[in-house]
């Protein structure tokens, strides 16, 4: 499965063509799905372009994207940078009026289990966000509900491709006891090398303006659809068991 991550916590200062509004997210999702994306991850934004978990913003973003790409799963973030207090974050999830198909929960953040419980109570699938270089994998695997989730989102945070590939190998070994579907991805300089690793291992992958602003040849990506097309090309031409 290839997921598109449409915007992330980035701002227009980093990427002038970042999709922010519900209408922009809908257009970006439609183009990305036409290019080969099979799942969508997005960050709802407030009027200032900041990530938010408020019910009205989540409803607007999810509804617009869902209408643009009917039948394609749509997920959102629950990152602590949007709402620092974990109790407030869980309360926001419980207040959502339009439910996404799934939501990511970062297991290194305080209150991850509380937010996860709120999602499960609402019937929302969980992407368990496991950052490299953190105790997230251990925390997740010790959670009594660690079999009640959609997939593991293995997130490689190292800055260089060499360090990222080394960290990815270690994290995948650490996550083996989960016996779960894994979506493996990197960011910025590691995004494309990690996508190739995911392709070689036949793992789920993702790409989009949240993770990287450049195509594999280093040129700026004009939009999410261009990143998805490049990813599809890599996946198609990466033999299993190679990197």
36-45 confidence digits (pLDDT tens): 999 999 999 9
Q: Is pLDDT at 201 greater than 80 in this prediction?
A: yes
User: What's the start-to-end Cα distance of the chain, in Å?
Assistant: 18
Q: Is pLDDT at 159 greater than 80 in this prediction?
A: yes
Mean pLDDT score, 85-108: 97
pLDDT score for 147 = 66
pLDDT score for 241 = 61
What is the percentage of the chain residues whose pLDDT exceeds 90? 91
pLDDT score for 149 = 86
β-bridge mates for residue 151, sequence order: 127
* pLDDT tens digits, one per residue of 125-141: 999 999 999 999 999 99
* Rounded CA separation 6/27 (Å): 10
Instruction: Please classify residue 22 by burial: count the beta carbons closer than 10 Å to its beta carbon, then call 0-12 exposed, 13-18 middle and 19+ buried.
Output: buried
Kindly give the pairing relationship between strand 74-76 and strand 39-42. parallel
């Amino acid at each position: 499965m290839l997921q598109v991550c449409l915007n992330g916590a980035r701002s227009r200062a980093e990427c002038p063509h970042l999709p922010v509004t519900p209408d922009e997210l809908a257009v970006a999702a439609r183009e990305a799905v036409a290019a080969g994306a099979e799942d969508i991850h997005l960050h709802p934004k407030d009027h200032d372009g900041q990530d938010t978990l408020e019910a009205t913003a989540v409803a607007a973003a999810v509804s617009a994207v869902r209408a643009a790409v009917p039948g394609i799963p749509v997920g959102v973030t629950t990152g602590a940078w949007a709402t620092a207090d974990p109790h407030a974050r869980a309360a926001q999830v419980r207040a959502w009026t339009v439910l996404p198909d799934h939501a990511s929960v970062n297991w290194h953040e305080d209150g991850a289990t509380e937010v996860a419980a709120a999602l499960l109570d609402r019937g929302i699938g969980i992407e368990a966000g496991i950052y490299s270089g953190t105790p997230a994998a251990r925390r997740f695997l010790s959670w009594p509900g660690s079999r009640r989730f959609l997939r593991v989102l293995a997130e490689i945070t190292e800055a260089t491709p060499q360090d990222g590939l080394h960290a990815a190998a270690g994290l995948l070994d650490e996550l083996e006891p989960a016996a779960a579907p894994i979506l493996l991805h990197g960011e910025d300089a590691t995004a494309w090398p990690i996508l190739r690793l995911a392709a070689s291992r036949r793992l789920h992958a993702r790409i989009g303006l949240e993770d990287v602003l450049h195509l594999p040849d280093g040129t700026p990506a004009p939009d999410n659809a261009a990143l998805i097309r490049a990813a599809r090309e890599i996946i198609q031409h990466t033999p299993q068991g190679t990197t």
